[in-house]
């Protein structure tokens, strides 16, 4: 076990001061919230198991040797954790005591984790209660039968090996130092809220809510545990102010869809993000035995030709690339307010949404996107496995966790598209196996959620896709404009050759079939005042981006954006990026969220009417 140094002790004291109250105290699942819950964030005992021998030594039976202190839910690489250990940690251990409230007596008790990276095992009172694979998704273990009166011992172990080539890890660096333009600080162990929850003997496990705008209804499908005679499911829909709209009680059983008809539905849209309140109940012999609070937005997303429609109206995608990294928390926002603030920062400079890049974002982020009317494309952190060959184990890991991510988030109205892969490129071996893997991923995504379009792979190699996306970091306006002059729905000879660094995508990429054409990465234009002088002189630097002075950069951003917005056959863009991330300094904001340029100028650039919108308005 790792001994505490004086510096880590000081970091821990600072973290305790920052979080004199429970860190991240808000409920982590605002679309599935029970009244009886207990936040377990805060101080835990901690140990790094460099030899990966803790299970063999039965540390779960005696955690008294865990001689570090950590602030959960922040990963040990982060400053806010009080540890800030940056080297590889193949195995980490956590311990704390838990006591169950007296008024939870007779309930089923569940231990919940927002996310733990990567292979997580949990023991209560020395007995293993569960194991979960996947670093980005939520999971629960029932602990009712292993609890005892008074204090209970909770021990968590997480194994993490991002160099295995089978573990999806997003933008975490596989080397000690950050790598190239876009591999950053790693994330190990617990990085989202941990909480206890009391549920009834019969209780809800999940509820799918599908808005059906054309038929003025929500379709609600419950999945619940412990079905028995006399058990029914009830859903109550109310206005935002609590006024009841409709109540439906169903005894039809598990997995059966229930329509909630509305006479005059209020729509969720970027201009007016109206949210209905929902209450889900399990009743036994007429008595409520489990209740969950939720909400939903009435909106529709579909594709017609080369346009993306929201509520049957075409919407130009003015997206920004958001990687969800924070200077002091890495993958974990320091506060709920900061999750909301990043959306507000984006909207303040003219974007109407974000491509959530190489990360499954915290559920609270989606909550704020729902509240603020912010359009997002949900994405999976597929980097960490080969981008040109998906091995069988990597495919198993990927498929399972992508499914969990979608099931967790698919009720959020702000998510309007799914992107399971990023920058895949031509297979070095096994083209047939690779193609079948991507087709399986596409089919799984569509089967889980047929209501949203799929971008099979953002940039480079497409196998089957509803949205045709390209990445283009060309800083030359003439060549960029010429390239997109050939884009039109009836031209199949469009390939992603502009920025395929591997040079062979054209041999495999599917032909363009007239889908919405979105340049979902462009710009990447570099500027920071302290680096501008060196960049202008052409000196080498560790920071990554394009550009020289602030004036040149903002003009270049305007010109590059105009190439895309002036083209009537382009359905949207994703500008790189919202904030700097460590060595990648091409953000609109610095890493600590300071705006680099004039907000009004940026809003005029990114919010300018697009040719596609003008064409639609003129019909």
Structure tokens at 488: 């039109």
Backbone angles phi, psi at 221, to 5 degrees: -125, 110
Longest dimension (CA), the chain: 78
Backbone angles phi, psi at 307, to 5 degrees: -125, 150
The full set of domains in the chain, from first to last, is 6-198 (2.60.120.260), 203-296 (2.60.40.10), 301-617 (3.20.20.80)
Give percent above pLDDT 70 in the chain.
Answer: 89
Neighbouring C-alpha atoms within 13 Å toward the C-beta of 51: 8
Rounded distance between C-alpha atoms, residue 496 and residue 502, angstroms: 11
Reported as a single tens digit per residue, the pLDDT across 245-304 is: 888 888 777 888 999 999 999 999 999 999 999 999 999 988 999 999 999 999 999 999
CB 559, CB 542: distance < 8 Å: no
What does the pLDDT read at residue 10? 57
Q: What is the DSSP letter of 174?
A: S
Bridge partners (DSSP) of residue 576 are: 523
Position 428 confidence tier, pLDDT thresholds 50, 70, 90: low
Q: Which of 103-107, 144-148, 213-217, 494-498 has the lowest mean pLDDT?
A: 494-498
Bridge partners (DSSP) of residue 97 are: 153
The answer for residues whose C-beta is within 8 angstroms of residue 135's C-beta and 6 or more apart is 115, 116, 117, 118, 160, 167, 168, 169, 187, 381, 401
Q: Which of 119-133, 146-160, 517-531, 597-611 has the lowest mean pLDDT?
A: 517-531
Rounded distance between C-alpha atoms, residue 156 and residue 76, angstroms: 14
pLDDT at 216 over 90: yes
Position 429 confidence tier, pLDDT thresholds 50, 70, 90: low
The answer for residues whose C-beta is within 8 angstroms of residue 288's C-beta and 6 or more apart is 281, 282
Rounded distance between C-alpha atoms, residue 176 and residue 247, angstroms: 56
Compute how many other C-beta atoms are within 10 angstroms of the C-beta atom of residue 483: 18
Please report which helix (H) or strand (E) contains residue 361, including its range.
none
pLDDT at 4 over 60: no
| Mean pLDDT of the 56-70 span | 95
- Cβ burial of 434 (10 Å; 0-12, 13-18, 19+) is buried
Sheet holding 313-314, edge to edge: 301-304, 307-310, 313-314
Rounded distance between C-alpha atoms, residue 355 and residue 321, angstroms: 5
Rounded distance between C-alpha atoms, residue 91 and residue 152, angstroms: 23
Name the residue among 607, 589, 516 with its Cα closest to residue 322.
589
Q: How far apart are the first and last CA of the chain?
A: 70
If you count them, how many residues does the chain have?
619
Give all strands (DSSP E) within 169-300, no chain letters: 189-190, 194-199, 203-212, 217-225, 231-238, 244-250, 258-261, 276-284, 287-296
For 42, the 3-state DSSP assignment is: strand
Please report which helix (H) or strand (E) contains residue 572, including its range.
strand 572-576
Q: Which of 122-131, 333-342, 438-447, 473-482 has the lowest mean pLDDT?
A: 473-482
Q: Which tops the pLDDT comparison, 286 or 53?
A: 53
Position 506 confidence tier, pLDDT thresholds 50, 70, 90: low
pLDDT at 438 over 70: yes
Give the chain's radius of gyration (CA, Å): 25
Compute how many other C-beta atoms are within 10 angstroms of the C-beta atom of residue 243: 8
The answer for residues whose C-beta is within 8 angstroms of residue 517's C-beta and 6 or more apart is 306, 468, 469, 470, 487, 494, 569, 570, 571
Position 491 confidence tier, pLDDT thresholds 50, 70, 90: confident
Name the residue among 466, 472, 545 with its Cα closest to residue 505.
472
What does the pLDDT read at residue 103? 93
Rounded distance between C-alpha atoms, residue 173 and residue 181, angstroms: 11
What does the pLDDT read at residue 50? 96
What does the pLDDT read at residue 505? 54
CB 463, CB 456: distance < 8 Å: yes
The mean pLDDT of the chain is 89
CB 340, CB 595: distance < 8 Å: no
Q: Kindly tell me the sign of the dihedral angle through the C-alpha atoms of 471, 477, 483, 485.
A: positive
Mind giving me the DSSP string for 527-538?
--HHHHHHHHTT
Position 92 confidence tier, pLDDT thresholds 50, 70, 90: very high
pLDDT at 538 over 60: no
What does the pLDDT read at residue 583? 87
Please give the distance of CA 452 from its chain centroid, rounded to a whole number. 16
Reported as a single tens digit per residue, the pLDDT across 350-407 is: 999 999 999 999 999 999 999 999 999 999 999 888 666 678 888 899 999 999 999 9
Q: What is the DSSP letter of 289?
A: E
Rounded distance between C-alpha atoms, residue 501 and residue 388, angstroms: 13
What does the pLDDT read at residue 496? 52
What does the pLDDT read at residue 12? 53
CB 113, CB 132: distance < 8 Å: yes
What does the pLDDT read at residue 508? 65
Question: pTM here?
Answer: 0.93
């Amino acid at each position: 076990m790792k001994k505490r140094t004086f510096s880590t002790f000081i970091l821990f004291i600072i973290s305790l001061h920052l979080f004199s109250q429970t860190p991240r105290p808000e409920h982590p699942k605002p679309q599935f919230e029970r009244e009886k819950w207990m936040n377990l964030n805060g101080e835990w005992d901690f140990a790094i198991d460099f030899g990966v021998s803790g299970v063999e030594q039965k540390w779960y039976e005696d955690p008294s040797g865990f001689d570090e202190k950590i602030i959960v839910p922040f990963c040990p690489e982060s400053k806010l954790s009080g540890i800030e250990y940056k080297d590889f940690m193949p195995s980490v251990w956590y311990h704390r005591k838990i006591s169950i409230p007296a008024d939870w007596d007779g309930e089923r008790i569940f231990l919940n984790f927002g996310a733990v990276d990567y292979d997580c095992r949990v023991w209560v009172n020395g007995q293993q209660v569960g194991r979960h694979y996947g670093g980005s998704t939520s999971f629960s273990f029932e602990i009712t039968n292993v609890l005892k009166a008074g204090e209970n011992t909770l021990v968590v172990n997480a194994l993490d090996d991002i160099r295995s080539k089978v573990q999806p890890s997003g933008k975490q660096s596989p080397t000690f130092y950050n790598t190239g333009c876009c591999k950053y600080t790693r994330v190990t162990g617990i990085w989202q809220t941990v909480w206890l929850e009391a549920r009834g003997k019969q209780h809800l496990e999940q509820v799918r809510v599908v808005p059906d705008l054309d038929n003025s209804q929500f379709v609600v499908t419950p999945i619940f545990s412990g079905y028995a005679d006399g058990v029914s499911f009830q859903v109550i829909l109310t206005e935002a102010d609590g006024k009841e709209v409709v109540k439906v009680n169903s005894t039809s059983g598990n997995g059966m869809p229930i329509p909630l008809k509305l006479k005059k539905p209020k729509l969720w849209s970027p201009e007016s993000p109206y949210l209905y309140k929902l209450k889900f109940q399990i009743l036994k012999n007429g008595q409520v035995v489990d209740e969950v609070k939720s909400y939903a937005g009435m909106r529709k997303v579909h594709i017609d030709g080369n346009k993306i429609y929201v509520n049957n109206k075409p919407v130009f995608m003015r997206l920004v690339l958001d990687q969800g990294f924070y200077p002091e928390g890495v993958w974990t926002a320091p506060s709920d307010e900061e999750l909301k603030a990043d959306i507000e920062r984006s909207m303040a400079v003219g974007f109407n949404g974000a491509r959530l890049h190489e990360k499954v974002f915290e559920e609270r982020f989606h909550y704020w996107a729902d509240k603020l009317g912010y359009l997002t494309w949900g994405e999976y952190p597929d980097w960490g496995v080969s981008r040109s060959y998906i091995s069988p184990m990597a495919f198993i890991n990927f498929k399972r966790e992508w499914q969990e991510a979608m099931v967790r988030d698919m009720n959020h109205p702000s998510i309007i598209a799914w992107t399971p892969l990023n920058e895949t490129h031509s297979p070095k071996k096994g083209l047939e196996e690779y193609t079948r893997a991507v087709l399986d991923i596409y089919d799984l995504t569509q089967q889980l959620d047929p209501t949203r379009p799929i971008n099979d792979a953002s940039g480079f190699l497409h196998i089957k896709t509803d949205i045709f996306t390209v990445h283009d970091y060309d800083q030359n306006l003439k060549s960029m404009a010429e390239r997109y002059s050939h884009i039109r729905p009836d031209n199949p000879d469009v390939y992603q050759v502009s920025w395929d660094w591997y040079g062979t995508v054209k041999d495999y990429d599917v032909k363009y079939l007239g889908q919405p054409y979105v340049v979902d990465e462009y710009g990447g234009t570099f500027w920071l005042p302290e680096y501008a002088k060196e960049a202008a002189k052409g000196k080498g630097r560790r920071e990554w981006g394009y550009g020289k002075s602030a004036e040149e950069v903002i003009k270049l951003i305007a010109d590059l954006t105009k190439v895309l917005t002036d083209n009537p056959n382009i359905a949207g863009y994703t500008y790189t990026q919202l904030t700097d991330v460590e060595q990648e300094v091409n953000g609109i904001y610095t890493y600590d969220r300071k705006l680099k340029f004039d907000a009004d100028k940026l809003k005029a650039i990114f919010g300018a009417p697009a040719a596609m919108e003008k064409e639609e308005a003129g019909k």
